[in-house]
Structure 1
């Protein structure tokens, strides 16, 4: 898991990168929670997502948004952070020009940034959105949502209530050809305290199923 430094719109960006096992492997970019509330690339859920994708052969990058850790710049209320995420994806793609597709996985604030990124990048084939906050952030840009993916939230989340997330999911489910699945972890709060293992089981199962479906289609 080598430490990497690459150039972003606001200067240096600090990250951790896991090279893929095969040349044409998929890419995964992992996005951390809110920088002003302690969110970093070393958040436990971000860290676990990183290894979840690495174990499945992806080329994986997690990084610190501007102003976090050794990344230069200052918090930019989402706009700059979206530019950071786009630069991060560009950086991984420069090392993996034969990559077939990309996944975006984000937690909390990172899920909002990730959903915006997938709207701008047609190569994104799947997303993982953990504890999105449609009550705090505007998700109306998802019209329509271009990729299928998974939304996971906790039934005891008081930051983004289950009703708020359910409204977002129902909106996304109305689009033809796109399958947005939802999993509500019973008893889990916004940070999935003592529920990270079940969370990773849900995400891992979803990714494995999507990869198996893609392989089956490729063989037809």
Structure 2
């Protein structure tokens, strides 16, 4: 799990990246819960998602949104964090332009950001959305959802 630092819209972003074990391997990116609630890329669920995708042969990235850990910038109520996620996806895809497919996974706030990114990036073919905060954020932008995936809600 090598630490990586890559450029984001407001400065550098800190992450952990596991390269693909074979050519044309799929890509996965995992997004963490809300920073004001203590969410980081080191969240237990985020780490388990990361390990699961890695074991299944994906090139896998998890990273801290702006203002979290070593990532530069300040929290931007979702607008800037969506830009962070787009930059992170661009960065991982630059190493794997031949990827067969791309998945996004998010936990809580990260699920909301991930689903917004999914609607903007047609190469994202699958998603895992854990505890999306539908009571806090509007998810009507998902109608119709262009990808298949799973939503896990307690």
**By the TM > 0.5 criterion, same fold?**
yes
Provide the alpha-carbon RMSD of the alignment.
Answer: 0.5
**Structure with the larger strand share:** 2
Higher CA-based Rg: 1
Q: Which runs of 5+ in 1 are unaligned?
A: 155-220
Corresponding residue for residue 148 of structure 1:
148
Matching of residues 187-198 of structure 1 within 5 Å? none
Quote the Cα distance in structure 2 between the aligned partners of 1:93 and 1:5: 15
Corresponding residue for residue 82 of structure 1:
82
Q: Deviation string for 1:75-124 (max 9, x for gaps)?
A: 00001000000000000000001101100000000000000000011011
CA drift at 1:143: 2.2
Matching of residues 64-143 of structure 1 within 5 Å? 64-143=64-143
CA drift at 1:23: 1.2
- How many pairs does the alignment contain? 154
Quote the Cα distance in structure 2 between the aligned partners of 1:99 and 1:112: 24
Q: Find the residue that maps to 1:127 and give its secondary structure.
A: strand
Q: Find the residue that maps to 1:62 and give its secondary structure.
A: strand
Q: Deviation string for 1:6-61 (max 9, x for gaps)?
A: 00001000000000111100000000000111000000000010000000000000
Q: Which runs of 4+ in 1 moved over 6 A?
A: none
Corresponding residue for residue 63 of structure 2:
63
Q: Find the residue that maps to 1:77 and give its secondary structure.
A: coil
TM, length-normalised to structure 2: 0.99
**Structure with the larger helix share:** 1
Point out which structure has higher relative CO (alpha carbons under 8 A, 6+ apart): 2
Corresponding residue for residue 44 of structure 1:
44
TM, length-normalised to structure 1: 0.69
